[in-house]
């Protein structure tokens, strides 16, 4: 927490200068703050002037996020971020028939050599065996270190493509073109890549930032309703952990979001990416418990995904239930009120998300899989909980009896039952 406090102090000092504040707003990395405080503001300002709110500010590895209808085939958004002449387009059997041809034609028209790898669709294929298909495609095409990988698909495609980019010849460029709401608001931004292991989700991977993210809202028209709901889980997450105004906005507009109102979806994506970008800029490698706050409900959710078998529940569905479990535990710890928990439950239900653990999950199964979590330190279970709506904390101090009570209630579809404030 000391590093986080130092970051806030530097940011406060930086914002004393009106000119710097107007350029950066809240989108400032610790490196940028340090440069400005040590008299290098002119160079820093020049660099940051190319960024807009919502872009990811990571110094010379900063990258833009373009959101809107039709951005998928905008060559002017893609080509400046492709440094060579070779492109490997990675997609899956569901998305490729819909969007791969138009993207491929856009790249070929610019004189690029384009090869493709088409993966099976589903979380159950996010493993070593199918990751190797990407390496096979790169090597069979004899692509060099200047190749750019483009991930066209949801979170699984993005995670695997990014991990392959981090590994191939010790690191090559990649671009994210997310085609699900969940990947547009979460997994495509921030550089976390990887694959699953039978014993734990996302336990093998690397940090690899994309060169650019293209979030085309038009693709959401073909998104199955279950996938739309799964994406809204991550959208709700941002409101719960750090943006109470956004949470209230979601409560007002959830019906419109479920009806796929284009303007509302675009705003939800933009505000989600802005929240994600701020957190990533402050703690890219999850060293200071700032980025870990994004994982509200994820420890519970990953346990559901692993315990039920990858692909049985969508990631967002598991996270939705996980967030309610985290809220229930936060209430038992004396932070949230029962009305707070009821408010969260109502919003999740309006988003079409499950609000109880799946049949077959037990408290013991939860604890078995929660013990294998990236946030844990020295064998201690660490959870993201809510001190209040819009204010999250990472803690290893939750009372064991409260955690057990939450898991029992969640497995019995009785979350909030018997919870008092």
- 219-235 mean pLDDT: 97
**Given 66, 123, 201, 234, the catalytic residue:** 234
| Of 13-22, 137-146, 355-364, minimum mean pLDDT range | 13-22
Domains of the chain listed by start with CATH number: 2-49 (no CATH), 65-222 (3.40.50.1970), 225-411 (1.20.1090.10)
Residue 265 has pLDDT above 50, yes or no: yes
Q: Return all residues near 421 (Cβ < 8 A) that are at least 6 apart.
A: 331, 337, 338, 339
What is the helix (H) or strand (E) element at residue 152, kind and residue range?
strand 148-153
Residue 415 has pLDDT above 50, yes or no: yes
141 vs 134: CA distance, rounded Å = 11
Mean pLDDT of the chain: 89
Answer yes or no: 286 catalytic: yes
**Given 196, 295, 305, 374, the catalytic residue:** 295
Answer yes or no: 234 catalytic: yes
Residue 197 has pLDDT above 50, yes or no: yes
49 vs 213: CA distance, rounded Å = 18
Residue 8 has pLDDT above 90, yes or no: no
241 vs 375: CA distance, rounded Å = 16
Tokens of 240: 């719960």
| DSSP conformation letters of 245-291 | HHHHHHHHHHHHHHTT-HHHHHHHHHHHHHHHHHHHHH-TTS-SSSG
Residue 403: pLDDT band (50, 70, 90) is very high
Residue 253 has pLDDT above 70, yes or no: yes
**Given 66, 104, 126, 291, the catalytic residue:** 291
Residue 348 half-sphere exposure toward CB, CA atoms < 13 A: 26
Answer yes or no: 116 catalytic: no
pLDDT tens for residues 285-337?
A: 999 899 999 999 999 999 999 999 999 999 999 999 999 999 999 999 999 99
Q: Return all residues near 185 (Cβ < 8 A) that are at least 6 apart.
A: 231, 234, 235, 238, 268, 269, 272, 273, 276
Residue 414: pLDDT band (50, 70, 90) is confident
Residue 306: what are its φ and ψ, rounded to 5°? -70, -45
Answer yes or no: 170 catalytic: yes
224 vs 417: CA distance, rounded Å = 33
**Given 227, 284, 286, 333, the catalytic residue:** 286
pLDDT tens for residues 364-374?
A: 999 999 998 87
Work out the number of other CB atoms within 10 angstroms of the CB of residue 301: 25
- 253-268 mean pLDDT: 97
pTM listed for this prediction: 0.86
**Given 10, 66, 126, 192, the catalytic residue:** 192
- 402-413 mean pLDDT: 95
**Given 2, 19, 170, 380, the catalytic residue:** 170
Answer yes or no: 61 catalytic: no
Answer yes or no: 192 catalytic: yes
pLDDT of residue 334: 98
Answer yes or no: 130 catalytic: no
Of 312 and 4, which is predicted with more confidence? 312
Residue 420 has pLDDT above 70, yes or no: no
Answer yes or no: 46 catalytic: no
Q: Would you say 299 and 370 are in contact if contact means Cβ atoms under 8 Å apart? A: yes
**CA-CA-CA-CA torsion sign (356, 358, 363, 367):** negative
């Amino acid at each position: 927490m000391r590093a986080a406090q130092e970051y806030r102090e530097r940011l406060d000092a930086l914002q004393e200068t009106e000119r710097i504040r107007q350029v950066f707003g809240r989108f400032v990395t610790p490196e940028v703050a340090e440069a400005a405080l040590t008299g290098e503001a002119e160079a820093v300002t020049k660099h940051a002037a190319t960024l807009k709110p919502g872009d990811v500010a990571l110094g010379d590895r900063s990258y833009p996020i373009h959101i809107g209808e039709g951005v998928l085939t905008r060559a002017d958004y893609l080509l400046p971020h492709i440094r060579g002449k070779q492109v490997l387009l990675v997609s899956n059997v569901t998305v490729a028939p819909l969007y791969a041809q138009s993207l491929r034609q856009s790249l070929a028209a610019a004189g690029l050599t384009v090869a493709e790898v088409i993966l099976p669709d589903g979380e159950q294929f996010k493993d070593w065996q199918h990751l190797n298909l990407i390496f096979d495609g790169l090597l069979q095409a004899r692509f060099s270190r200047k190749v750019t990988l483009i991930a066209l698909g949801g979170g699984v495609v993005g995670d695997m493509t990014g991990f392959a980019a981090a590994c191939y010849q010790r690191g090559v460029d990649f671009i994210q073109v997310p085609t699900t709401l969940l990947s547009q608001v979460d997994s495509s931004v921030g550089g976390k890549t990887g694959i699953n292991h039978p014993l734990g989700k996302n336990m093998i991977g690397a940090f690899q930032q994309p060169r650019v993210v293209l979030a085309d809202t038009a693709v959401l028209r073909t998104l199955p309703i279950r996938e739309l709901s799964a994406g809204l889980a991550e959208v709700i997450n941002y409101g719960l952990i750090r943006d109470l105004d956004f949470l209230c906005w979601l409560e007002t507009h959830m019906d419109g979001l479920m009806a796929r109102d284009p303007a509302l979806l675009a705003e939800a994506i933009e505000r989600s990416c802005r929240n994600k970008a701020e957190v990533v800029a402050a703690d890219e490698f999850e060293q200071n418990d700032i980025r870990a706050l994004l994982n509200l409900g994820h420890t519970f959710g990953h346990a559901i995904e692993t315990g039920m078998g990858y692909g049985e529940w969508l990631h967002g569905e598991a996270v939705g239930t996980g967030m309610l479990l985290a809220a229930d535990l936060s209430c038992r710890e004396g932070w949230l009120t029962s009305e707070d928990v009821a408010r969260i439950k109502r919003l999740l239900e309006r988003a079409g998300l499950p609000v109880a653990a799946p049949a077959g999950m037990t408290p013991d199964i939860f604890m078995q899989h929660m013990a294998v979590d990236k946030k844990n330190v020295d064998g201690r279970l660490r959870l993201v909980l809510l001190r209040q709506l819009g204010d999250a904390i990472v803690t290893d101090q939750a009372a064991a009896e409260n955690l057990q009570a939450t898991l029992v209630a969640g497995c019995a579809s009785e979350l909030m039952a018997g919870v008092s404030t």
